[in-house]
Amino acid sequence: MVMTDKSQKILKISAIVLGVLTLGTFVFLGIRRLSRRRNKVLGKKGVLVCSHITKIDVPQALNVENNLANIQLCLDNDVEIIEMDIQITKDGVPVLFHDNDLDSKTNGNGSISNKTWSEVSQIRYISNTSQGIATLESAIQLLKKSRKSAIYQLDKCSQQEIGQINKLGLFKGVENQILCKGFSWQKPQTAQEAGILWMPMIPTDLVGKMSNMETINKIVANCQGSEFLEAQFSDQDSLLIDGTLSKELQKIGCNLFVVAVAGASTTNGKSFRGDSPKQWEKMIKPMGAKAIMTNKPIALKNFLQQFGV
């Protein structure tokens, strides 16, 4: 069959239109992927404030860790990062709870992993009997409803648990607002599949050894692809304390995350322990912390304004 000139022109035009549409689709999907990866908090200048176990220093706050009311207060007060502890019930429901067992802080006993959600939902905190154990789903609903760019830092969340949560679809729509932490340098496969942020911790075997560039370069190389690195250090770790590690991390798009609460010989140098302005100042300069975890996020935010960062 011989094609006429008209038919050939129509075929060419159709091919061009199809090519443009295909290219447009690829461009759209690429932009969409990039937009999902972007987070305004990560691009924000200055030091980020992280609430420890959802604590916040305002009069309305409840004296209960990992609770929804405090999460809402953190969101309302523009706390950039909110840390919460994750455990999963026997029947696969992710909930917010810190301790390994229920005994000391609630009217329950044993571990959450051995109880169904129906059982866990009946448990109440001793410090405030009006408060029960919240689900991660409820916390994420608050985040979505707020339309804020805040990041949820999920602690006590294993590679397997990340996979379980992702299968439930809970990360959908907030992937670039979920930060998980672990001892693995490399972002776990389940975290990669979920498209969430990753924060390794400096292992305890490197504490006290960060006084030479060889160790610093090794740490930085291992942080490729991670958004944050949680510091564990001693007073002997001079190249972390003087800001060298932070500067090197920034070159690969990774940020130094420092915990101001608690502290031990393997987590915070003795002279850096304490959740106070005196310690915050040293964590900011010269250490170069990009994020600080605190029990007093409002006080820290006010301090940062006065400090000019």
| Tens digits of residue pLDDT in 137-147 | 999 999 999 99
Radius of gyration of the chain (CA): 23
Same domain, yes or no: 10 and 91? no
Low-confidence ranges of the chain (pLDDT < 70): 1-38, 263, 265-266
Q: What is the pLDDT of residue 35?
A: 39
What's the structural domain count of the chain?
Answer: 2
For CA atoms 220, 202, 298, 272, the dihedral sign is negative
Predicted pLDDT at 64? 96
Give residue-wise pLDDT tens across range 86-127: 999 999 999 999 999 999 999 999 999 999 999 999 999 999
The pLDDT, as a whole number, for residue 18 is 56
pLDDT at position 34: 41
Handedness of CA 255, 309, 49, 270 (dihedral sign): positive
Q: What is the pLDDT of residue 28?
A: 41
Residue 38: per-residue pLDDT: 62
Same domain for 147 and 71: yes
pLDDT value of position 7: 57
Q: Are residues 1 and 57 in the same domain?
A: no
Nearest-angstrom CA–CA distance, 246 and 241: 9
- The residue among 253, 259, 247 whose CA lies nearest residue 197 is 253
Query: Residue 156 domain-assigned?
Result: yes
**Are 243 and 288 contacting, i.e. CB atoms less than 8 angstroms apart?**
yes
**Predicted local distance difference test score (pLDDT) of residue 3:** 52
N residues, the chain: 309
Bridge partners, 257 (sequence order): 230, 291
pLDDT, position 25: 46
Task: CATH number of the domain at 77, please.
Answer: 3.20.20.190
Q: What is the pLDDT of residue 9?
A: 59
Same domain (yes/no): 30, 152 = no
- Residue 30's domain comprises 1-37
**Pair (25, 63) in one structural domain:** no
119 belongs to a structural domain = no
In this prediction, residue 16 carries a pLDDT of 61
